[in-house]
Structures are given as C-alpha cells and as structure tokens.
Structure 1
Amino acid sequence: MFRFTKKKEADRPINLETPVKGRVLPLTEVPDRAFSSGTMGKGRAILPSEGKVTAPCPGTVVHIMEKSKHALLLEHETGILILIHVGIETVSLKGEGFHPRVSAGDKVRTGQTLLEFDLEVIADAGLSPITPIIIPEGQDLVESVEFTEDSASRANEPFIRILLKHQ
C-alpha cells in the first residue's frame, strides 16, 4: 500500500509559485557565476519589484542564514529542497535591511511571508537585488525541473515545476 502512495506522489509534479514579485530571468542573467553556470542547481531568478519573499509551496523552513538573513532553505513535504537567495553579494550587508518573518523549523503554507527586505538598502550598497530560486543539485528524487515561459511574476502562479522520479 505504501509503495502505491509513493508512486502516486512521484506522478504529481511540484508546482512552485513565484516567491517574489518582479521580472523573471533565466539563471544565465544572474551576475554571479555560481548561479549563472548552474553549478548550484537549476532554477530561475527574479529582479524584484518589491521587498517580500513568500513561500513558493507548503513546507518547512530548514535554514535561514543566521547573520546575513539574505537566504533561506525550504523543504517541501516530499523532501525536495528549494533555495531562495535574495540579492548578489548581499551577505556583505550582514543582515542590514533583511527581516525574516519565520524561523528554522517553522511549517509554512504557500504564499506565507518568509522574509522582507529593503530594496533601497541593497541599491545604496551598490549590490544587485536579483533573487535566484534554486533547486539544489544532488537531490535524488528530482527527475527534471521545468520552467514557465512567462517573464513577469505574479502571485499564485507557478513558475517552476519539479517532476519527481518514480520510487
């Protein structure tokens, strides 16, 4: 019986909603080689139009960068990890302008605010606010990652689809 349930889970894709409002970009346009080369994983990036990150799916907050507060790791109920990294080189701000609204271990629902950030603080520091959303490499459950064609992010619309391997 459990095998059937797992197989059914694998048949259903994980649709990630847009966690940040703004313009959707391919990772190749991220001004950081670790992201743009795909080394960290597959995903998309968003040039934010507002300073708020919401949960792209239900899950558990696994980690928030403690001092810099600029990135977090979310785990979907299937065990798939999603990295949301606000800005490029924003670790240098040491948390200034970043306000987490959740803590590690918190269960979250789709659309729930995870983090707020100040676009002006990022701009004043001469940094890019581009926000990569990554499905990190090395996750055995991931069969493939697909993307929508839309270049504008809107709330409650999928922009990344993760297909799982059959177990």
Structure 2
Amino acid sequence: MFNKLKKEQKAKLYAPVNGKVVSLEEVPDPVFSEKMMGEGIAITPTDEVIFAPFDGEIVQIPETKHAVGIKDKKGNEVLIHIGLDTVDLAGEGFTTKVKIGDSVSVGQPLIELDLEFLRENAKDLVTPIVITNSVNSEKEIQLTEEKEASAGETVLLTITSK
C-alpha cells in the first residue's frame, strides 16, 4: 500500500498598509480579539492606501467599502477590515480600486482611505487582517514579531496548510 503524503503548502501574507502592528488580542472589538472571525493580526494605518497582501482574487467588498475579502490560489481566505465600526460611515472615507472577481497581485492598490476623515469619524483605525477560514482548520499560522509594517515588504503571517 502506498502512503499518500500531503505536501505542506506555505503562503506568505504581506502587510497591506504601512503602520503599527497590533496583536489581534489587543483589538478593542471582541469579534476580532476573541478570534471569532479567525486567526490574524492588525495594523493601525499611517498611510492612505490598502494594498493586496498576496496574489489572489477579490471575493468580497461590502457596499460600505470598509473591508475587502481576498482568496489566494491555495484557498486561504483573508478579510481586511479597515477600522472599527466603520460600516456606520456608509462608504464615506473609502474609495475602492477593485471589484469582486478581479485578480490582484501583491502590492496592487485595493482601497484608498481618507485618513483625516476616518480619524475624526471612526471609532478606531486599527485594521484587523484575519484568515477567515482558519477556524477549525489544520492551518498553522506564524505571526510576525515586527512592530512596524511596510506595505508589500513586511511578512505579517506565514500560513502552512497541511
């Protein structure tokens, strides 16, 4: 009998924005801090553009433009949720550069932010980056120890699928 060996697949998720790296547990919203949406990390943005963290396909952009969902070729599904309670802004402060179904490359602009408006009107700018299909999965996720992130350069997470 032949053993069917599963080959481990590793995927790197790069910072989608420049800013301060924050652990998910420190995000002041239990949906994220208690990892109800999945494992991940967060960044408090210092720049006005959210970039693709890996090559993939846009699978979600709510009408309120405050978040974007991306899926890579290995099946990892990532949600970038810009700020907290930003759904209440009804799209103001956000300009999308992509649409659902678009293929994107790492570093490609996804959403432009009006940081001044968001600082004045959002509860918090901390931006959770969550692997939504990591709950009850066999994915091993290694988080960065960096404290500052550079978009497209800092590897925030390494995902190993077994």
| Global fold match (TM > 0.5) | yes
Number of residue equivalences: 158
What TM-score, normalized to structure 1? Answer: 0.88
Q: Per-residue CA shift, 1:60-87, capped at 9, x if unaligned?
A: 0001012x10011100011110000000
> How big is the shift at 1:103?
0.3
Matching of residue 54 in structure 1 with residue 66 in structure 2? no
Deviant stretches of 4+, over 6 Å: none
Task: Identify which of 78, 84, 91 aligns with 1:88.
Answer: 84
2:95 corresponds to 1:115: no
State the shift of 1:12 in Å. Answer: 3.3
Name the structure with the higher helix share.
1
CA distance in 2, matches of 1:119, 1:159: 22
2:18 aligned residue = 21
Please tell me the root mean square deviation across aligned C-alpha atoms, in Å: 1.8
1:91-130 deviation digits (Å, cap 9, x = unpaired):
0000001001000000000100011111111122152111
Say whether the 8 Å CA contact 1:72–1:83 is kept in structure 2: yes
Aligned letter for 1:62?
V
Q: Which residue type is aligned with residue 154 of structure 1?
A: S
| TM superposition score normalised by structure 2 | 0.91
Question: Which sections of structure 1, spanning at least 5 residues, go unmatched?
Answer: none
Query: How far apart, in 2, do the equivalents of 1:141 and 1:75 lie?
Result: 16
Identity %: 38
Partners of 2:74 and 2:136 lie apart in 1 by: 12
